[in-house]
Amino acid sequence: MTRQLIGFAIISIVWCGGFGDSVVLWAGDAIPISQSADYFPDTVGNRWQYRGQITEGPLQTIDHKFFTNISTVTGTKALKGVTVTVFHDTNPGNHGPSDSFYRRDVVGIVYYGSDPGTPLEKQIIPYQIVRFPMMVPSSFQQFDRTGLDFGTDINQDGTDEKVDVRGWTSLVGHESVTAPAGTFQDAIKVEARMTMLIHLSGGDHTASGTDVMTAWFAKGVGLVKYVERQELAAVKEDRGVVTEITEELEEYIIKPSHESLSRLDPPSGNLASGHPRTRN
């Protein structure tokens, strides 16, 4: 899925994580960010080109790969009874082409999935990825589901595993970020964390891991850089897998905002589906 809006929609739901990590729900005074939607431009014709790198392998074996990803806002479509914005990525995370779907309104941005999407992702969407106005610092839980179909037979016994999955996103603060496209002052730093606990069929064993993404968004530009670390704990005799992915902005074209597909529409009827307290 695209990393343009909140890269962890921000996270492609393909890895897994345990529940040993706790989430920090920010307390105390938080500062509102004016014109929050300007950090996520979605005008038709917007284009971002990223330089990517992947480091992956079992804990003792590391492989380096390089790739390019171009993300473009291509239009809108009707999905689940609402109008969503379509982002097309040529090679996000070096996984090949995909389309991702988002709806932006006065209360934030909701992620409606991707095409192609994973079986697990389809059971979780839609869910909210940004709340307006953004507050720094702040944090909220995106989803908390148990007993889902993982869509993969990890232990190869002929039965797909079940999985418990949780996701959070946190706005950490403002800082400068540098990419090949330049240095962007006062970018918003966002961290997304997903954890899963996979229940292996045919026994009491579980597999665990984490997926953590840190992303920087510049006002009027969008995503400048993200760093994602995925960890899958060992299953049976294997040694586990660690993957680190980085994408950095090389060049971009941003169209005038009056052409934006998302003109801060009223909240959709399905918005509650993306709220962690009311999701199915």
6 falls within a domain: no
Count of domains observed in the chain: 1
Q: Per residue in 211-258, pLDDT tens?
A: 999 999 999 999 999 999 988 877 665 667 889 999 999 999 999 975
156 falls within a domain: yes
19 falls within a domain: no
Is the confidence at residue 280, as pLDDT, over 70?
A: no
- Note if the pTM is more than 0.85: no
Is the confidence at residue 61, as pLDDT, over 70?
A: no
Q: Per residue in 149-168, pLDDT tens?
A: 988 888 888 899 899 999 99
Share the mean pLDDT of the chain. Answer: 82
CA atoms within 13 A of residue 207's CA, in its CB half-sphere: 24
Q: Per residue in 112-154, pLDDT tens?
A: 999 998 888 999 999 999 999 999 999 999 999 999 998 888 8
Lowest mean pLDDT among 7-16, 62-71, 102-111: 7-16
Residue 90's pLDDT band (boundaries 50, 70, 90)? very high
267 falls within a domain: no
Write down the pLDDT at residue 153: 86
Residue 56's pLDDT band (boundaries 50, 70, 90)? confident
**Spatial contact of 214 and 187, defined as CB atoms under 8 Å apart:** no
Which residues face 224 on adjacent strands?
Answer: none
Strand ranges across the sheet with 47-58: 127-131, 108-115, 98-105, 82-89, 63-79, 47-58, 241-253, 222-232, 206-218, 182-199, 162-179, 138-149
23 falls within a domain: no
143 falls within a domain: yes
Q: Per residue in 198-208, pLDDT tens?
A: 998 877 788 88
78 falls within a domain: yes
Domain that residue 240 falls in: 31-255
230 falls within a domain: yes
